[in-house]
Amino acid sequence: MKALHRAPLLALLALTSCGIPATGVVEAGGPASGALPLTPVYFVENGRLVATQRNTGRPGDPTDALRLLMAGPLTGEGGTDGLTSEVPALPTAPPTAMALPSAADDVQGNSPSDPPGAAGSSAYDTPTVTVAGNAMTIRLPAGMAGLSDLGIRQLVCTATAAYRLTRPSTPSPTAVVTGGGHLVRMSDARCPAR
């Protein structure tokens, strides 16, 4: 009978002596996650548009995709000649252009001569994108005057591809590019496959 009482104790000793320490939950790094979201961004290679995939924190956001476009191609990206862009990089305002608000400026920094709704607008802004129904409007800042046709196509292809990324079943929007001296209407039919 004594041997019968010792059997559970011996089994417990055998299990605890296998070298596995008794610990709680061990934290090791952040939570598990999938692949980073990617968005197609269109650059130029040998005179034609090509799509590259960029990491984004905001998939499906056309304005965010245009910021990625304006960041330019990465070094060594593309074929032997690399990728280029017809869209100017997002410039930074020169220090002399930075002016302190005057007493006549309102609390948002707009001077009385600014057009209504121009809060924060300048030649150094990123294009903005709005979508209503099946129409996408890409509004360019004044600093983007004189874009080439290929540059306009880069903007439209990048913005429409980003929009459709999270809305694959919606019809392709028709893009209207305004501002910077441009007024162009086009669809993404002329955009190469992503």
Q: How wide is the angle at C-alpha 90 spanned by C-alphas 193 and 134, nearest 5°?
A: 45
Name the residue among 185, 158, 128, 126 with its Cα closest to residue 39. 158
Tokens of residue 165, six digits: 């990324």
What is the domain partition of the chain in residue ranges? 38-89+122-190
> Any idea what DSSP says for residue 128?
E
pLDDT per position as a tens digit, 93-140: 444 433 434 444 333 333 333 333 334 444 457 789 999 988 999 999
Statement: the pTM of the whole predicted model exceeds 0.85 = no
Contacts of 124 (CB under 8 A, 6+ apart): 90, 91, 92, 93, 141, 143
Determine the Cα–Cα distance for residues 50 and 185; give it in Å rounded to an integer.
21
Query: Which phi and psi (to 5°) does residue 130 adopt?
Result: -125, 145
Whether 190 and 153 have beta carbons less than 8 Å apart is answered as yes
The vertex-158 CA angle with 32 and 165, nearest 5°, equals: 45
pLDDT tens string 32-78? 456 668 999 999 999 999 999 998 888 899 999 999 999 999 887 77
At 174 the three-state DSSP class reads strand
